[in-house]
């Protein structure tokens, strides 16, 4: 039964890469968004620090 599942009726080399790419796209979205948000927070903190040091 499980070998039937993995072979997907002979279409395994189309079906599993499909799901792999879908997983990769979802994972990339999360990773890239997390990195983008982190970078934005760092830049904002830096801009605030510069502004407050200039104000002195």
Partner 1 sequence: MWTWFYKLASPPYVYGVAAAFVPWLLGFAALAIGYGLVAGLGIAPADYQQGEAFRMIYVHVPGALLSLTVYTVMAVASGIALIWRIKVGHAVAAASAPIGASFAILALITGSLWGKPMWGTYWAWDPRLTSELILLFLYVGVMSLRSAFEDPLRGDRAAALLAVVGVVNVPIVHFSVVWWNSLHQGATIVKLGAPSMPGSMLWPLLSMWLGFMLFFGAVLCMRLQAEVLNRERQASWVREAIK
Q: Which residues bind partner 1 (CB under 8 A)?
A: 5, 8-11, 14-15, 17-19, 21-22, 25-26, 28-30, 32-34, 36-37, 39-41, 43-45, 47-48, 51
Task: Tokens for 54, please give them.
Answer: 């200039």
CA-to-CA distance for 47 and 55, rounded, in angstroms?
12
CB of 53 to partner 1, least distance (A): 14
Q: Which is nearer to partner 1, 5 or 56 (CB)?
A: 5
How far is Cα of residue 20 from the mean position of the Cα atoms in its chain?
Answer: 14
Q: Which is nearer to partner 1, 19 or 53 (CB)?
A: 19
């Amino acid at each position: 039964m499980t070998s039937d599942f993995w072979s997907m009726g002979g279409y395994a080399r189309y079906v599993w890469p499909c799901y792999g790419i879908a997983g990769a796209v979802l994972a990339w979205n999360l990773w890239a968004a997390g990195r983008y948000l982190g970078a934005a927070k760092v830049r904002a903190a830096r801009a605030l620090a510069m502004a407050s040091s200039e104000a002195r």
